[in-house]
Structure 1
Amino acid sequence: MKSKEKIVVIMGATGSGKSALSVDLALHFKAEIINSDKMQFYDGLKITTNQSTMDERRGVPHHLLGELDPEEGEVTAAKFRNMAAHAIAGITHRKKLPILAGGSNSYIHALLAKSYHDQGNYPFSKNGTICSELNYDCCFIWIDVAQPVLFEYLSLRLEKMMKTGMFEEIAEFHRTKKAPKEPVAVGIWKAIGVQEFDDYLKTYKWDNDKENWDPVRQEAFKKAVRAIKENTFQLTKDQIKKIRKLRTAGWEIRKVDATATFREAIRAAKERDRGDEMQRMIWNREVVEPCVGIVKRHLEQQINKNKRMRLM
């Protein structure tokens, strides 16, 4: 009987460091990364969707990241299953380790579940069922951050994103792209930030001279930013709820606490201290080193099993 292909799956709420950890592990284990964040499939809105920059990827090959035309529309879970399975096959053929990283847990379930059906069973609905039989030999890692700390970090991150061009990026996207003719938003048009600024951009022509905006316009802008924060917070709650449901259904998901790193990031931001060296030290100690151990033990299981088979 052919053994299942081994893959590593990095899970967690938005902003919890999945992309960074996947690169750290890829460099350690000679791996390639497959994106499973459905807003990051598209070539566009790189700031808004928090796509890893080329520098942040550190030479590690990434798949399904920024590859699709924004006007292509919705990528169904079934389509993702096919695309990601093809990427995994290519990576394993190159004798590399596939690492799946992203926060779209329904897509992760679609890829990994043995008996997945695109229609009729949304696994995370009230009456939905989780399939515990998996297509791959998975090593699951959940990066967890205490909710109050994560929320504070996400608020600061949004402020930074706005300063580095998020609003301008969304305004240009609205100006140059045509939304698919659907009754509800689809594809990248569902990205947090795009819809929240929709009414604002329909009311006001774009200009970035915020100091000369009238009070009504300023309040409309602030309202959109508040909505982005609130919807981001709700997204993290939904993501964690889904991970817990997968765990309850029997998925062996190992949790690693990254709270200390994010507390340091918040302190550094408030004190205007880059704090990169301290953050990296805490991240390596509290997150990377434990995760390297988890993945190493997972990979060694198959090696030991093969040795026993040869001795029989």
Structure 2
Amino acid sequence: MAGRMPLVVILGATGAGKSKLALELAHHFKGEVISADAMQMYRGLDIVTNKVTPEEIAMAPHHMIGFLDPLSKCTVVDFRNQALPIVEDLLRRNVMPVICGGTNYYIESLLWKVLIDQGLDGSNESEIPILKEANNRPEDIPSLSSPSSKRPNHEKLSLPLGDLEPGDIFETSTMGARSKDLDDPDTSDEVLHEKLRDIDPDRAGQLHKTNRRKVLRSIQVFHQTGRRHSELLREQIQDGGNHLGGPLRFPNFLILWVQCDQEILDDRCDRRVDKMIQRGMIKELEDFHKEYNLKRQEPADYTLGIFQSIGFKEFHNYLMLKTKAEKESDLGQKYFQDGVEQLKMVTRKYARKQIKWMRNRFLDPRRQIPDVYAVDSSDPSQWNEQCLEPALELVQAHLENRTPLLKPLEKVQRDVLKAELEQKILDCPICQVQTLGQSQMEVHLRSKGHRAKLRRLNSPRLLVFKISKINKDLQASSEMALLQKMKAFTGHGFSELKTQLSDPEGIFRVRIKECDALRTLDELKDLGLELEMKSISSK
């Protein structure tokens, strides 16, 4: 088996059973679990974040769990820099790494190489102590091998943790000093986007002006590297990656997706919330709220550290009640029930979002990726037959270098042209809005606002125009062309038009479709006359 030890990745939505399968595989093959969950890295809130129990830790060592201060700031790059040496150390020792967690872009950061990453802030250092590749020892690695294992006390991390979108982790890791200078609150999104358009028009064409974080990142790439971000991303594709990221980091790994019927999964998500409440989730939230929010006498910040976990925002109104009597009152119980329903809804939506991400990212035929195998956890009574045994056989077949019984999932075929359109900024000239990609544009075109403007543009209306500028030095031929165009536009005679055009305050009232009027205004401007639309009447 030497040299064939695979890196095993377990995918799955919340409630599907991926953690159970990862634990059983690690236990069977004497492997170790690397958690890829953004919230489980923080200390505390064990119920809310669904951390492993002491009994589960005894079955297999776990890494990347419960070692960060709850208010620490962290990014996917910080996670990768901490977790990657653990994976490499396990493979060197011929121990099977089993990666499992709900933060799928954390998993991606370990599987695919990042080509645009370090040094963009002038330094490769992180406030997380990164394990040295040549001297990794088991005792140096953040792990939970027993309930009494010591955990590193990493109090501070350097980077903000936020919701990343597809492609984010394959771009840059930090917001360097130069970008912080650019991110002046007084600088509008439009001005920043124009700055990017000046230095990298291709990248500007891919980013909406309101996507301030990504716009700043691309400007930062240019200032720190001297090269356009779009050029570096194209090189990423040439080096074996695609628009989603770079080439594979490891040549030898297996991906298992624990799937579940959607209706059953929705019910599991609801029952999971009920079980968390029975285990003491509310007390856990209350204690953390008192410890980290009330003592600071500041508004609750649910964008910081572990407070991004689902639960805090949903139970905010209930947590803000100060006394037991308030919480037991009718209003308090309403807040509590609202929180329960909100948490269930958010959990179900998050599970759906995870499924969509996995389908789009792990089954994309344009990407370097090995086969993905699925097991079905819909029927708990069939867990061994439908999940565990097929997974064990798959890993064993890989170790023995033979074809597994399980068949891989088919890749999701995509329309290349449509995929390219999804990466471009598209304009709606009628509403003067921009969307990222054809899908968002189609949603906009179906919106009530757009259809109302379209009806208005195509309905004859009484439009009032005022002269704002006229070229007094027109040649006779040009003047005649202008008069002819105005006659067709207004229906007035030449003499009347000459009188009106000589008046700086000249007013014209025309019943016409607004779309035709706008086109005519452009034509008149070319002839030396600029008209301003003053008011619109439907009468």
**Shorter-chain TM-score: what band?**
0.7 to 0.9
- In structure 2, which of residues 247, 256, 264 is the aligned counterpart of residue 133 of structure 1? 247
Superposition deviation, residue 186 in structure 1: 2.5
- In structure 2, which of residues 322, 326, 347 is the aligned counterpart of residue 205 of structure 1? 322
User: Match of 2:342?
Assistant: 227
**TM-score relative to the length of structure 1:** 0.80
1:290 aligns to 2:406 (yes or no) = no
User: Match of 2:85?
Assistant: 86
CA gap 1:132/1:5 in 2 versus in 1, 3 angstroms: farther
Superposition deviation, residue 189 in structure 1: 0.8
User: Match of 2:515?
Assistant: none
User: Match of 1:59?
Assistant: 59
CA gap 1:193/1:117 in 2 versus in 1, 3 angstroms: farther
User: Match of 1:309?
Assistant: none
User: Match of 1:171?
Assistant: 286
Q: Which moves more between the two structures, 52-61 or 79-88?
A: 52-61
User: Match of 1:237?
Assistant: 352
Determine helix, strand or coil for the equivalent of 2:401.
helix
- What one-letter code is carried by the residue in structure 1 that aligns with 2:308? K
* Structure 1 CA distance for aligned equivalents of residues 358 and 107 of structure 2: 10
User: Match of 1:299?
Assistant: 399
* Structure 2 CA distance for aligned equivalents of residues 233 and 185 of structure 1: 21
Superposition deviation, residue 131 in structure 1: 3.1
CA gap 1:206/1:66 in 2 versus in 1, 3 angstroms: farther
* Structure 1 CA distance for aligned equivalents of residues 299 and 401 of structure 2: 50
- What one-letter code is carried by the residue in structure 2 that aligns with 1:133? P
Q: Which has the larger radius of gyration?
A: 2
CA contact (8 A) 2:35 2:65 kept: yes
1:160 aligns to 2:160 (yes or no) = no
How many percent of aligned residue pairs carry the same amino acid? Answer: 34
Determine helix, strand or coil for the equivalent of 1:9.
strand
RMSD between superposed Cα atoms in Å: 2.8
Superposition deviation, residue 232 in structure 1: 0.6
Superposition deviation, residue 71 in structure 1: 2.2
CA contact (8 A) 1:151 1:233 kept: yes
CA contact (8 A) 1:123 1:129 kept: no
User: Match of 1:253?
Assistant: 372
- What one-letter code is carried by the residue in structure 1 that aligns with 2:324? D
* Structure 2 CA distance for aligned equivalents of residues 36 and 177 of structure 1: 25
* Structure 2 CA distance for aligned equivalents of residues 154 and 115 of structure 1: 34
Give the number of aligned pairs.
Answer: 277
* Structure 2 CA distance for aligned equivalents of residues 116 and 285 of structure 1: 41
| CA deviation string 1:71-103 (max 9, x = no partner) | 223x21111111111111222233211110011
Q: Tell me which of the two structures has the higher relative contact order, counting C-alpha pairs closer than 8 angstroms and 6 or more residues apart.
A: 1
CA gap 1:88/1:206 in 2 versus in 1, 3 angstroms: farther
User: Match of 1:50?
Assistant: 50
Q: Which moves more between the two structures, 117-126 or 104-113?
A: 117-126
Determine helix, strand or coil for the equivalent of 1:301.
coil
CA contact (8 A) 2:34 2:62 kept: yes
CA contact (8 A) 1:124 1:242 kept: no
Superposition deviation, residue 196 in structure 1: 1.4
Determine helix, strand or coil for the equivalent of 2:10.
strand
1:111 aligns to 2:103 (yes or no) = no
* Structure 2 CA distance for aligned equivalents of residues 155 and 87 of structure 1: 35
CA contact (8 A) 1:106 1:124 kept: no
User: Match of 2:31?
Assistant: 31
- What one-letter code is carried by the residue in structure 1 that aligns with 2:94? K
CA gap 1:96/1:259 in 2 versus in 1, 3 angstroms: same
CA gap 1:223/1:112 in 2 versus in 1, 3 angstroms: same
CA contact (8 A) 1:110 1:116 kept: no
User: Match of 1:196?
Assistant: 314
- What one-letter code is carried by the residue in structure 1 that aligns with 2:114? S
* Structure 2 CA distance for aligned equivalents of residues 208 and 228 of structure 1: 23
CA contact (8 A) 2:34 2:97 kept: yes
Flag the structure with higher helix content. Answer: 1
- What one-letter code is carried by the residue in structure 1 that aligns with 2:245? C
* Structure 1 CA distance for aligned equivalents of residues 5 and 93 of structure 2: 13
CA gap 1:117/1:200 in 2 versus in 1, 3 angstroms: farther
**TM-score relative to the length of structure 2:** 0.48
- In structure 2, which of residues 166, 170, 175 is the aligned counterpart of residue 123 of structure 1? 166
* Structure 2 CA distance for aligned equivalents of residues 40 and 226 of structure 1: 23
* Structure 2 CA distance for aligned equivalents of residues 4 and 290 of structure 1: 19
Provide structure 1 residue ranges, at least 5 long, that are not aligned to the other structure: 262-278, 303-312
* Structure 2 CA distance for aligned equivalents of residues 90 and 259 of structure 1: 35
